[in-house]
Structure 1
Amino acid sequence: MTAPTPADDLRAPRTQAGPNPQHLLTTLLGEYLDSSEADLPSAAVVAMLAEFGISESSARAALSRLTKRGLIAVRGSARPPVYHLTPQAIARHRSRMDHFLSFGARPPQWTGDWVTVSFSLPQSGHAQRHAIRKALGALGFARLYDSVWIRPGSESGAVNTVLREILDGVDGGRWSVMHTRFDEEAGPHGPAAAYDLAGLASAYEEFIERYSDLRVAVRDGRIDATRALVARTSVMDSWRKFPDVDPDLPEHLLPARWPRQAARELLLEIHSALGSLAEARLVEIATPYWPDAASWITHFRASADSLSVSARERGRETFILRAAARPAAGTSPDSGPSAG
């Protein structure tokens, strides 16, 4: 399984093992800022990431790279530079936070429909074959057989466009996009064989094991503001991969005792309980370098049925409520209202 790349103009950093300053900064910006009007000094960003053990040079490199990717932009020509989230990035952050926090809230509306892609290339088409596989993975397809890829649902516009872009004009290249159903959907030769469900289940179980002690500490009131920011950001940074790598298959195609719901409940409990404390800590860290930090820093919070984000406008706190509706089966996570 390959994690889909967000289907918009803003290029999120790729997942990699170990501490990732870009991912941490993307998570912080997505969780705690909700206005493109906020002027964010670079020194404040350095201080925020220092809380996570990120060096100043790595923090400034992360700022530079996220600027190149369009997630943030430089405001004016001040030195040291001042950054802001673009309106497009704000929209993308909101959409992605909805996606992260609502994923798994309710089972998919299953119709039994699959989009199937089959392609054939001459032996010399190594570059095109690699490009197709990468593009199909980014669109949420999984390889059922060598050159047969599937994804749940019926939306095929994006994959048709991608295949034309890569294969039109390639001598000996052929491809087909089909809307299919499986005679034995739950059998050993059915669509579930395309997915590493055992590996995904293990990842959910590792997530639960990693953060179970933190949940106990939260329940016991042993997490103060200083620990809350790192703990809450860590749990979200670990969770955010699942909505992109989990194909969200219907229950009859999943192994028994599927652990996603237990993992989601753990996330929501920690994320909700530590929100205000984490926000307070971030304000404390940023204020020496950003006097207006308390006017702009906020936090998302979620429940089983709805998602809310507190937005501060000139010192007045309002709340924006949105239903945590999941994308329909076969649609891209970013195909709704566009947002880290």
Structure 2
Amino acid sequence: MQPQDLMLMLFGTYALDRDVSLGAGGIIEALARAGVSTHATRSTLSRMVGRDLLHRRPAGRKMYFALTGRSAAILRDGRARIWHDGAVNDRWDGTWTLLSFSLPESMQRERHDLRSRLAWSGFGPVQGGLWIAPGRVDAAGIVSSLGLVAHGLVFHARADATTNISSLIGDTYDLAELSDRYHQFVARWETASPAGDPLGERLRLMAEWLDAIRRDPRLPVEHLPADWPAARAQKVFRSLEEAYRAPAQKVADGLLDVLPLSSSG
């Protein structure tokens, strides 16, 4: 895991929607428990400030850090993916979101940005400039946020009965790569013992699980291979997270220097 991923998990767990900032000393100690050196933590804090992911907030002789609006939005999205959406889509209603776009060669950067955003949002390429995602996805919002409204058309539709959905999914998405993410997670965590450092282990667990599911388009489970590993991986995650939660909170309460935003300078 990159230090920034662990940092975001720390703030997402102990600062998000709490109107607090976290002291630098406690942040350094918390990430040290997850295997991050002091130098790497300080460098990560500086980079995240520069990327508008954290605010510096001095208070007396101490330095505190708080989430920005940008990082809070990222973390709320991650929280929804972990706890609301989950890794298993067993309630698909048969609808697809389709985005057709055409960009000139002079807009290669914009094309790259659009494809990256689409992949993050669960889209896969059917052919050329036609991308699809299961369910109703705000493709119009993605296109609008990139200033590409004039270059895209958005549809919501259902496949005809003659369409082989399983084949369509297999051709559109890299199922082997998606499956491998879950297999790696299970191999790493299924035999893990809750006896280790609860805070460090929980930060690593959360970061690795979000990494496993962040690019999962949540394809309808009825059209995936029978041995699809997402359900098993999710069970491992939730069981361990529950085991770590209370002990990690106890450690964090004694370790993190928390300052209400209204008290910081």
Map Cα deviations across residues 123-175 of structure 1 (whole Å, 9 max, x no partner).
Answer: 45434433432343244321112322111223443144257x2374xxxxx54
Residue type of the partner of 2:218? D
Q: Identify the residue that residue 131 of structure 2 maps to in structure 1.
A: 149
Deviations 1:61-108 (A, max 9, x none): 222233344443233464442223468866764563243134337745
Report if the CA contact (8 A) 1:114-1:154 is conserved: yes
1:209 matches 2:192: no
Q: Are the counterparts in 2 of residues 114 and 151 from structure 1 also a CA contact under 8 Å?
A: yes
1:265 to 229, 235, 244: 235
More helix by share: 2
Matched, 1:240 2:222: no
Tell me what 2:30 maps to: 48
- The CA deviation at 1:112 is 1.9
| Correspondence for 1:75 | 57
The letter of the residue matching 1:260 is A
Q: Is the 8 A contact 1:119 1:176 kept in 2?
A: yes
Deviation at 1:240, TM superposition (A): 0.7
Contact 1:144 1:191 in 2 (8 A): no
What is the letter of the counterpart of residue 132 of structure 2?
I
- Structure 1's 195 and 138: CA in aligned 2 closer, same or farther, altered over 3 A? same
Q: Could you say if the C-alpha distance between residues 126 and 167 of structure 1 is closer, same or farther in structure 2, counting changes exceeding 3 Å?
A: farther
User: How many Å separate the matches in 2 of 1:125 and 1:71?
Assistant: 27
Distance 1:131 1:35 in 2: 29
- Say whether residues 1:137 and 2:119 are aligned partners: yes
Greater displacement, 39-48 / 128-137: 128-137
Supply the distance in 2 between the matched residues of 1:122 and 1:92 (Cα, whole angstroms). 30
Kindly tell me: are residues 35 and 159 of structure 1, through their superposed partners in 2, closer, same or farther at Cα, counting changes over 3 Å? Answer: closer
Give the 3 Å change call, closer, same or farther, for CA 278–256 of structure 1 in structure 2.
same
Identity of aligned residues (%): 28
**CA positional deviation for 1:192:** 4.0
Matched with 2:263 is none
Contact 2:9–2:207 (8 Å) recurs in 1: yes
Give the AA of the match of 1:66. M
Answering whether residue 45 of structure 2 is matched by residue 63 of structure 1, we say yes
The 10-residue stretch of structure 1 (136-145 or 205-214) with the greater mean CA deviation from structure 2 = 136-145
If the length of structure 1 is used for normalisation, what is the TM-score?
Answer: 0.65
Q: Name the CA shift for 1:92/1:231 in 2 (closer, same or farther; >3 Å).
A: same
Q: Aligned partners of 2:156 and 2:84: how far apart in 1?
A: 28
Q: Does structure 2 retain, via aligned residues, the 8 Å contact 1:119–1:147?
A: yes
Please state if 1:158 is matched with 2:141: yes
Asked if 2 retains the 8 angstrom alpha-carbon contact of 1:36 and 1:87, the reply is: no
Any residues of structure 2 matched to 1:172-183 within 5 Å, and which? 175-183=152-160
CA distance in 2 between partners of 1:42 and 1:56 (Å): 10
Among candidates 244, 250, 254, match of residue 280 of structure 1: 250
The CA distance in 2 between the partners of 1:69 and 1:207, in whole Å, is 29
Unaligned runs of 5+ in 2: 261-265
Say if 1:78 and 1:87 are closer, same or farther in 2 by CA, change over 3 A.
Answer: farther
Decide which moves more: 189-198 or 263-272: 189-198
Count of aligned positions: 258
35-44 or 84-93, which deviates more: 84-93
Q: 2:174 aligns with which of 196, 217, 222?
A: 196
